Structure 1
């Protein structure tokens, strides 16, 4: 593990770094940008109609806890999606709307840290990591502790390697499943062990599940689903949104669900410190969470693109098909690592890929656990994706 000084200088968007890396380099063909994980399958048109129907509600301050219909729709979706017993998720106690998951992943950390009330509280997160996790630790005044998520540990943090003394001062543990960028899925057994540690050492599990509806075969489990088997949702908070599921990142509509005691206090915190979801957006969100057909159609498009990538790129060393998410995580150590490979690929065939090193933090020895990799976002239409993987295959194989 790597314990780092938590400072603003560590929060760097990977995209300006990539721009600087390839500045002045001429692409080898017409550019295809595979760096940004922005869904492009299109927002269901019925959402626009609902927003238009309720447009006059933009004149009102939205309730911070959301309209009743939205909390109910989310509770019904969670119950349906994860085969939960009726009543396990109470829409009035276990759910709060968010302005997208990122807003909640950052702001909820402040409350988790306050509840820990421990000097030098730590926040654990996988490395590579989503920058919002680090921002949450920084905002809360906690120490960010990076946990290597490499091929050796199945691309998830090794729970057996955690020092009990570190866990005792931990306020929260960020986990993403499906993981960004590796696309691995935490098993129910993994979640069960993590939740047990959280309860034993009194920290919160912050489970980022925004890619839960993009998967290849089996639908991923949820930390909420596993917690429910124990009889309560204590110490577990899950985050999800419509950004990936409904191809609506600009809608900024998500939720946090789980520990009722935490959410009771978080509601009070949000009431003075956080933004509300506009009422017309909430009404559109009700319809989107209530409809599974559009999510299934979008998932099928991703599956077709992964099939195209598998066909062309499976001969690469250490290639694997991710279980979920929208990214390929390619080991290009044979090309000198991700940074050098990104330049070589750009100059050779015009495909823009993101070096894995830009998504991770080096440890004290200078080792970057993502240094060998590049990330490819399969968000373009199938024909563009096929063109891109054809170019990559001609270069890399």
Structure 2
């Protein structure tokens, strides 16, 4: 028997997309713009570091990360956010951020909140692991629309008090996937104050924080530190997947208060999958280097400028501030994705597949998500194809 709480999970986005499209022939050469898998070049010296440390595959890796990797992460957090962390007690290496975003809920969500079943707040649209983590710990996922009217960020402060009293954890994604919105300091200050008032934790998914246009996004932990909030109030999650074009390296981290990290590390000792030692050695050096990150940002900025020229006059088009997706308005995302596929071969993701029906509405239904991960010339040609097919 399977647990009843998992019986009504919606299909994951990409199997659902295959069901929509794959019984139809593409209308041209296939162009994949669905998955946020970076295609820019990662630093060429990464391969050599792995080769130099290949003997490490003969050893069990340290669960929490090598001391050198923990220090490299703490050093990066200090440079990037001006927050000082104890690498031994406030940092843990992750096998990609998805692991951490799930297991942090497993380790930290209480069984009750103020005598009632706990709620976990999620933006809607959302990264699927937030919902599954909530269900796995016996909490109720509470979806809060992140729409154009709310700046594509969830307005948790507007929730009723009876809801907020039950909240144990709030997930926030900034820069947001899929919309590319950034939570500024004022937003984060308000959210942290709300968490302090109602005693819940904030899980800040910041894995797109290094792909931005203009000013660097504010960090949730930095704002909490400046406010003097409870040190256990905020956990941040980052990875090298987007920052450094290394999704296959599976190097991420969680950082926050020492008591929270102690509990997450305890769970990792039983159920975690630490990063292999040669990959940890590579990650130590990648977190320490910023030159390749600046070049990565430049390449994405060029593609966003192209997107702005192509879609600027489309009603409802919002130029993303960060990340590497377009969140394009359409009449219906599934209809648009199927039309694109059948007529052009361009493959995009319906926005409803990243969202949850709530109160009779799905905030992603009238959008498609388009990943700008391919080389500039390929992206430009594909965006022109999308424009011609869906908007002209």
Q: TM-score range by the shorter chain?
A: over 0.9
2 CA distance for matches of 1:253 and 1:314?
Answer: 36
Q: Corresponding residue for 1:108?
A: 104
Aligned residues: 386
Asked if the contact 2:110–2:118 (Cα under 8 Å) also holds between the matched residues in 1, the reply is no
Q: Who is 2:219 aligned against?
A: 222
Which consecutive unaligned segments of at least 5 residues does structure 2 have?
A: none
Number of the residue aligned with 2:228: 231
The corresponding residue for 1:122 is 119
Superposition deviation, residue 316 in structure 1: 1.2
Give runs of aligned pairs for residues 99-248 of structure 1, distance below 5 A: 99-114=95-110, 119-231=116-228, 233-248=231-246
Post-superposition offset of 1:393: 2.1
Q: 2:372 aligns with which of 372, 378, 395?
A: 378
Deviations 1:2-36 (A, max 9, x none): xxx96343242111111111233332221211111
| Paired residues of 2:108 and 2:263 also in contact (CA < 8 A) | no
Among 291, 294, 304, the residue aligned to 1:293: 291
Shift of 1:226: 0.5
Determine if contact 2:103/2:264 at 8 Å carries over to the other structure: no
Contact 1:11 1:134 in 2 (8 A): no
Alpha-carbon contact 1:6-1:143 (below 8 Å) kept: no
8 Å contact kept, 1:8–1:138: no
The answer (yes or no) to whether the contact 2:176–2:182 under 8 Å persists in 1 is yes
Q: What is the CA–CA distance in structure 1 between the aligned matches of 2:227 and 2:387, rounded to whole Å? A: 47
Matched residue, 1:387 = 381
C-alpha RMSD of matched pairs (Å): 1.6
Shift of 1:115: 7.3
1:310 is matched with which residue? 308
After superposition, the C-alpha distances for 1:172-192 in whole angstroms (9 at most, x for unaligned) are 101100000000000111111
CA distance in 2, matches of 1:94, 1:200: 24
| Matching residue of 2:61 | 62
**TM-score normalized by the length of structure 1:** 0.94
1:321 to 319, 341, 347: 319
Output the CA distance in 2 between the equivalents of 1:219 and 1:240. Answer: 15
CA distance in 1, matches of 2:88, 2:366: 46
The alignment's TM-score, normalised by the length of structure 2, stands at 0.95
| 2:29 corresponding residue in structure 1 | 30
Secondary structure of the 2:323 match is coil
Q: Measure, in 2, the Cα distance between the counterparts of 1:181 and 1:162.
A: 23
* Residue 7 (structure 1) aligned with residue 1 (structure 2): no
Match of 2:330 among 329, 332, 348: 332
Distance in 2, Cα, partners of 1:224 & 1:116: 26
Rounded Cα–Cα distance in structure 2 between residues aligned with 1:165 and 1:256: 30
Q: Distance in 2 between matches of 1:43 and 1:362?
A: 38
Ranges in structure 1 where 5+ consecutive residues have no aligned partner: none
Taking the aligned partners of 2:157 and 2:287, their CA distance within structure 1 comes to 37
Q: Give the C-alpha shift of residue 160 in structure 1.
A: 3.0
1:242-281 equivalences in 2 (<5 Å): 242-281=240-279
Q: 1:46 maps to what in 2? A: 45
Match of 1:368 in 2: 362
**Alignment-derived partner of residue 358 in structure 1:** 353
- Say if 1:230 and 1:116 are closer, same or farther in 2 by CA, change over 3 A: farther
Deviation at 1:81, TM superposition (A): 1.1
CA–CA distance in structure 1, aligned partners of residues 159 and 110 of structure 2: 23
